[in-house]
Amino acid sequence: MSTLLTEPTVETSAANEPRRLPRYSLSLPTKVEVKVDNKFSWNEITRLEDVSAFGAGFHLKKPVKRGRLVLVSAPMPRQLRCFDFLEPQYKVWALVRKCVPITETPGAELYAVGVAFIGKTPPASFNENPAKLYDLSVRDEGGLWQLVDAAPNPDESDLPAYARRHTRFAIPESLVVELLDEHGDIAASEITVTENVSLGGAAVFTSFNVDIGSFLRVKSERLNTSIISVVRGKRVGQDGIVRLHVEFIDHLFPLEGIE
């Protein structure tokens, strides 16, 4: 058996006391599948950095929002499984608890991701809305974590910075927004500014008449960044201008470049 790592702390919303879970340094080839919504999904092959029966850590080239469910597949040792003990691949659904950028080189981004295992199947609400965010409740008798709906405005003052929802800043950053068709080609383009922006999303002024779930490419020449994004909502302000609320998919926004 591999050397036991220092036990990490996993925060829960069900109690004030952190849960301490022993994790083992066990490098195994791992497939991580992320379903952004009913139209778009992606997957990546990586390797485990550490693992226990109840969670794991690994690196990804794309960020994943805290609170999102992902499917993790790896040839896990039987003693670290809670089900499917004889299957060659252990496929377990997991909740993203942290996603931390660990490189700053444009085009070579890497993120350290930590997940908590929640079971063999996702909840019915995930099948209805894969973009839904969750939080941890308590572990069941088998040791896996149970889920609750993520609070819309959670109190995260007691969490480390990496584990908090992304704070939005009221910054008018100039952007080029490109509307993508079903083939990924540019259907329309406009120059606009943000109403607010965070690492993981933004509200942008737009003249586009698009539906929720539409895909965009958000580009900043000043910050030398281009990010695939999905429309999560839209609203009309008192000024009569439409705002699109977008989630960044393949990169985080480089807020360190905004003064």
Lowest mean pLDDT among 35-39, 94-98, 106-110: 106-110
When the pLDDT of each residue in the chain is averaged and rounded to a whole number, the result is: 82
Cα–Cα dist 149/156, whole Å? 15
CB distance 51 to 24 below 8 Å: yes
148-158 pLDDT per residue, tens? 888 765 555 55
Q: Please report the pLDDT score of residue 140 as a whole number.
A: 66
Please say if the pLDDT value at position 105 is more than 60.
yes
- Extract long-range pairs of 101-110: CB within 8 Å, 24+ residues apart: 101/63, 101/252, 102/59, 106/224, 106/225, 109/61, 109/62, 109/63, 109/251, 109/252, 110/59, 110/60, 110/61
212-227 pLDDT per residue, tens? 888 899 999 998 889 9
Q: Please report the pLDDT score of residue 259 as a whole number.
A: 54
Residue 207: φ, ψ to 5°: -105, 0
**pLDDT band at residue 100, thresholds of 50, 70 and 90?**
confident
192-215 pLDDT per residue, tens? 999 999 888 899 999 998 888 888
CB distance 167 to 198 below 8 Å: yes
* DSSP result, 87-123: -SSEEEEEEEEEEEE----TT---EEEEEEEEESS--
Residue 79: φ, ψ to 5°: -70, -10
Cα–Cα dist 167/43, whole Å? 27
**pLDDT band at residue 4, thresholds of 50, 70 and 90?**
very low
Cα–Cα dist 39/27, whole Å? 32
* DSSP result, 163-206: GSPPPPB----EEEEEEE-TTS-EEEEEEEEEEEE-SSEEEEEE
Please say if the pLDDT value at position 36 is more than 90.
no
Please say if the pLDDT value at position 31 is more than 60.
yes
Cα–Cα dist 11/191, whole Å? 41
Lowest mean pLDDT among 8-17, 176-185, 202-211: 8-17
Rounded to whole angstroms, the maximal C-alpha distance in the chain is: 63
Q: Which residue segments constitute the domains of the chain, with CATH numbers given?
A: 9-162 (2.40.10.220), 174-257 (2.40.10.220)
Tokens of residue 50, six digits:
């550490």
